[in-house]
Amino acid sequence: MTAIDKLMVPSADGSGTEQIYPQTHPDAVVGLDDYIAVHGGTGSTGAKGDTGQRGSQWYTGTGITGTSTNGTVFTGSGVGSALAGDMYLNTSTSNVYRCVVGGAATVAAWAYTQSIAGPQGPKGETGAQGPAGSSTTAVATTTANGLMSSTDKVKLNNLTVITLVKVKDV
């Protein structure tokens, strides 16, 4: 149980104290029991209400374009059934649209509201010079090293050349 307190201050005439802040807990409201006795307590639970309309939804794509603030129908929006208040983000342009007339894609009207892309920032400073690239290595000769040693080049030059000759098709 929680204690219910009331805020009291000395009365203006000094004869005692008076309450200066209303008591808001139901068990502390002065006279609540008498009111309920006269007007009755809580009634029984009512019947379940109908299911409400779905809330607004966000859609994304590239089918809604332009910057017209009047409702425009975009049959290729990809939104099968829109409600007024639904939102659409064009993922290519970063533009945001609000559905102002709900319905199928052939009826729903969308109005441009804003772009969520900010302006392009300033060009950055030029970066530092990169390291020098490696130079091309020369082809080896029988007397100078290159992509292989000169010794390996001599061996390569002295290999027997083998030639394949076609005998027939099978």
State pLDDT tens for residues 157-168. Answer: 888 777 677 776
Q: Looking at the chain, how many residues does it have?
A: 170
DSSP 128-167: PPPPPPPPPPPPP-SSS-SSS-HHHHHHHHTSPP------
Share the mean pLDDT of the chain: 84
pLDDT at 141: 76
pTM of full prediction above 0.95: no
E strand or H helix that includes residue 32: helix 32-39
- pLDDT band of 170, cuts 50, 70, 90: low
Domain ranges in the chain are: 8-39, 58-115
Q: Using one digit for the tens of pLDDT, what is the confidence trace for 150-159?
A: 888 888 888 8
- Residues contacting residue 148 through CB under 8 Å, at least 6 positions apart: 140, 156
| Residue 75 binned pLDDT confidence (cut-offs 50, 70, 90) | very high
Rounded CA separation 63/76 (Å)? 6
Residues 6+ apart with CB under 8 A from 153: 140, 141, 142, 146
